Amino acid sequence: MNYTLHQLQVFLKISQTQSITKAAEELHLTQPAVSIQLRNFQDQFDIPLTEVISRRVYLTDFGREIAGAAEKILNEVYAINYRTLAHKGLLNGKLKISVVSTGKYVMPYFLSGFIRQHEGIDLMMDVTNKLKVLESLENNGVDFALVSILPDHLKIDHVELMPNRLFLVGCGFEAEPGKVYEPSLLKDLPLIYREEGSGTRYMMERFVEKNQLTIRKKMELTSNEAVKQALLARLGYSVMPLIGLKNEMDNNYLQIIPVSGLPMSTTWYLIWLKSKQFSPVAQAYLDFLKKEKDNIIHQHFGWYERY
């Protein structure tokens, strides 16, 4: 047999995602490249490793055994790399963070300086909705999580990063100069919501319930980017976090509609379980963040104060 570490990595990712397409996306490869690596890997075995049913890739019993072995081999390779760096006196290991979807506009700026300082660190950042973020944290699958609403069912510690402000946003609304509209305005607008489990949806629903509004028409989309594109296409209006709208606001593609009671404000928090035993990497990152967060905010988010 003459399989490579790259083939093991590709096969393991396919086993985890059950999809050539998703494996290619996560490995930053093309689908044909992943298919070729899978075929070359399979050619070294007389027993099938996978089967395709309804366009999903399933492992055979033998394939599951090989996937388990591949994971062990790759973990040993990573361990060798980390030990090599440790002998050079370099910080090394994995830093695992789960981030709510809007947090993708925030978290990279609080990571970039740290990652540049320590080339031996592998960053694993999962961007998903609030429910899945908290599930990863609760299951001890990550070191930290970025949220804008603190969970009340977990025992956590946290560091405050920066404000998260939500405004009513849309395109083409002819607002009267200087006028602040009543919340009842939302009853007459087609509203666009995020999906269930989203922190943004939670805040929007709080505003609607607080003002006892009956919404006439609404649409539900599963990401802030999808909501943003729908706003630009003039499909409706939404209560959105300002943090992801810099380009659209700077270029007047979208507008803030002044409404009494808005903006609503929360805070971006980096949280972790109170019982968490930090790795040297996680502890070093927390120390970095506490020291540098004010400089990061000033450097990258000064524009935020204009609104």
Percentage of the chain modeled with pLDDT above 70: 96
Q: Which of 52, 86, 120 is the last residue of a domain?
A: 86
Average pLDDT over residues 198-221: 89
8 A C-beta contact, residue 126 and residue 172 = no
Q: How far is CA 197 from the centre of its chain?
A: 14
47 pLDDT more than 70 = yes
| In a shared domain, residues 96 and 126 | yes
pLDDT grade for 254, boundaries at 50, 70 and 90: very high
Q: Residue 174's CB: how many other CB atoms inside 10 A?
A: 5
CATH of the domain at 235: 3.40.190.10
| In a shared domain, residues 272 and 261 | no
What pLDDT was estimated at residue 87?
A: 56
What's the token pair of residue 193? 């919501």
The angle at the Cα of 79, spanning 24 to 273, to the nearest 5 degrees, equals 80
| In a shared domain, residues 47 and 169 | no
Q: Which of 86, 117, 135 is the last residue of a domain?
A: 86
| In a shared domain, residues 179 and 208 | yes
Q: Which has the higher per-residue pLDDT, 65 or 89?
A: 65
Average pLDDT over residues 136-155: 93
8 A C-beta contact, residue 302 and residue 109 = no
| In a shared domain, residues 44 and 56 | yes
What pLDDT was estimated at residue 120?
A: 81
Positive or negative torsion for Cα 98, 103, 107, 108: positive
Quote the number of domains for the chain.
3
Pairing of β 190-194 and β 217-221: parallel
Per the document, the length of the chain is: 307
Average pLDDT over residues 150-177: 93
What pLDDT was estimated at residue 245?
A: 93
| In a shared domain, residues 113 and 77 | no
| In a shared domain, residues 247 and 126 | no
What's the token pair of residue 109? 């700026």
What pLDDT was estimated at residue 135?
A: 92
Q: Residue 239 is inside which H or E element, if any?
A: strand 238-241
What's the token pair of residue 224? 């802030």
Give the CA distances from residue 36 to residues 11, 20, 31, 108, 171, in Å, rounded to whole numbers and listed in that order: 11, 11, 9, 33, 46
CATH of the domain at 80: 1.10.10.10
Q: Look at residue 237 and give its three-state secondary structure.
A: strand
Owning domain of residue 118:
91-162+267-306
| In a shared domain, residues 229 and 190 | yes
| In a shared domain, residues 158 and 298 | yes
Q: Which of 71, 86, 101 is the last residue of a domain?
A: 86
pLDDT grade for 36, boundaries at 50, 70 and 90: very high
User: Long-range pairs for 42-46 at CB < 8 Å and ≥24 separation?
Assistant: 44/1, 44/2, 44/3
| In a shared domain, residues 243 and 293 | no
Q: Which of 37-41, 50-54, 240-244, 294-298 is predicted least confidently?
A: 50-54
CA nearest neighbour of 256 among 209, 194, 304, 197: 304
Dihedral over alpha carbons 27, 28, 31, 37 (to 10 degrees): -50
| In a shared domain, residues 82 and 116 | no
| In a shared domain, residues 74 and 125 | no
Q: Look at residue 233 and give its three-state secondary structure.
A: coil
Residue that the structure tokens 């899945």 belong to: 132
CA nearest neighbour of 106 among 93, 97, 94: 97
Average pLDDT over residues 82-104: 78
